[in-house]
Structure 1
């Protein structure tokens, strides 16, 4: 079982704090740092945030939220082993050709430590501000994944779709290992099915112990229907019962997640604050090293 810290760019938006977190997390044995994205924060919005009972994003419009790719590049330059995942990047809002270049460059320069976690978005007002259609954003996301993979896999690449088309183009550098893992985020049926059809990973963030079993089963059925190996799709999710500070016995909860097929457990970095120099190493010793290998 691997472990990751989530929403790290929101917790440490400043350069010094981000570098400090990266080094401490790497030394403690964490596998990855997970970032979150919103390009803009509407002063007023009617869309319901799906991860809070209030329906509102925690914080305020003045809360610093660095671009995840730039934040990851900064911290990658101060570390050598820890991985980075967007959790999630709102794919339909991006130009896929530009994004393919950005992500491949970041992966190439970091030595293959990038995972692109994607979602289709929930904040309709953000799409309006960006001039991106809200409708059919799921179809747009699927197409963007295919287009990026075409650019990553070969030179003289071509792709023809409804939302993006190009012919005879090359984008270099390529990712360090020939591709960047695409991790599909979301705890809906559509997200589970998308992960099964085209994902290298599945990231059902807001799923309880029972609910996640149904989502994983749905993802695996979708993978089999698409002729893919469901066991090859890595699963990252939260794990209620794991104390961020290593208190109590986390083994029953982690073993239950492992039995469900979970590969990586995420914990909120905010729960380790403010004494990271003490809390992160303690978690590494009491929890991460118990489940290494």
Structure 2
């Protein structure tokens, strides 16, 4: 099982050192969240809190994930980077594919993209995108990104969908290894999207029971789409974990990568850069590199 460090809401100036330490102590990857802006007033409840309120302050740092991933890749050699999750329907898929293909090439194929829809109506209104068609547009955007970043270098691609349509074009540079596209979401639609189009699935912070149910459903859906024999990543952010044995149980459940925030696990001051680094080193000693 691989280990991923959650890099959300960390000061942009601290991220490069965090990446270097994470690589040094054995983490496999770092995830970066996506938030274009913080609307003062939001007309929909946050889906992942009991009271529907956002759990972060307006000034919480949310660096652009592509820029942050590029900077971290430049100061590391092995560790991978991915978004969790990029709000794909807010963006043009060809421009997104261009950025991802360049990042993948320049990092030595250490980039992946996790995608989601966004739940905030104001994000769509203020970026002049259509919330009503976000699911269908995301499906088409995934296909476009996978065509551009198929792993065969620059080649001619075209796409003719309901929402995006273009004739033959070539984007260069393009990676010589297929760029993984992961899909987030616990809804039936999200699970179906992951099973049908994704190279893997990303969970939110959740208990083991909900993870088990989602993984079971993903297995059913992948069989339905004839993809049971294809490689598929299960990237989970479990809550309620007590010890190393619980992490081993996740591997038996089918989890291929665990995403953690060690500073929260150890009660460290989230705003203290040194405390974060100490927590990363401690988690590596106690869990990532723990002996059986």
What SS does structure 2 have at the residue aligned with 1:287?
A: helix
Within-5 A mapping of 1:116-195 = 116-153=113-150, 155-177=155-177, 179-195=178-194
8 Å Cα contact 2:81-2:112 kept in structure 1: yes
Instruction: Give the superposition deviation at 1:42.
Output: 0.6
**Runs of 4+ off more than 4 Å:** none
Question: Structure 1 CA distance, aligned partners of 2:109 and 2:65?
Answer: 17
Distance 1:169 1:145 in 2: 17
Alpha-carbon deviation of 1:239?
2.4
Partner of residue 216, structure 1: 215
- Per the TM alignment, residue 56 of structure 1 is displaced from its structure 2 partner at its CA by 2.5
Deviations 1:5-41 (A, max 9, x none): 11x1521322xx1111011111111111111111121
> Is the contact between residue 9 and residue 68 of structure 1 (CA under 8 Å) also seen in structure 2?
no
1:267 and 2:260 equivalent? yes
Alignment RMSD (CA, Å): 1.8
Cα distance change, pair 269–176 in 1 and its aligned pair in 2 (3 A)? farther
Give CA-to-partner distance per residue, 1:48-77, whole Å, 9 cap, x none: 112222322233323331111001111111
Q: TM-score, normalised by structure 1?
A: 0.90
**Aligned mate of 2:248, from 250, 255, 266:** 255
Residues 9 and 71, structure 1, Cα contact 8 Å, conserved in 2? no
Equivalences for residues 82-97 of structure 1 within 5 A: 82-97=79-94
Over 3 Å counting, the alpha-carbon distance change for 1:286 and 1:56 in structure 2 is same
Is the CA contact 1:196–1:230 (under 8 Å) kept in the aligned structure 2? no
Secondary structure, counterpart of 2:4 in structure 1: strand
- CA positional deviation for 1:281: 1.8
Cα displacement string for residues 142-194 of structure 1 (whole angstroms, at most 9, x for unaligned residues): 011111222223612111001111111000111241x2101101122211111
The Cα shift of 1:207 comes to 2.9
Deviation, structure 1 residue 231:
6.0
**Are the aligned partners of 1:152 and 1:171 in contact in 2 as well (CA < 8 Å)?**
no
Distance 1:291 1:215, change over 3 A: farther
User: Does the aligned pair in 2 maintain the 1:220–1:230 contact within 8 Å?
Assistant: no
Equivalent residues of 2:10, 2:61 under 8 A apart: no
Paired residue total: 282
Q: Which has the higher contact order (CA 8 A, sep 6+)?
A: 1
Query: Which sections of structure 2, spanning at least 5 residues, go unmatched?
Result: none
Counterpart of 1:204 in structure 2 is 203
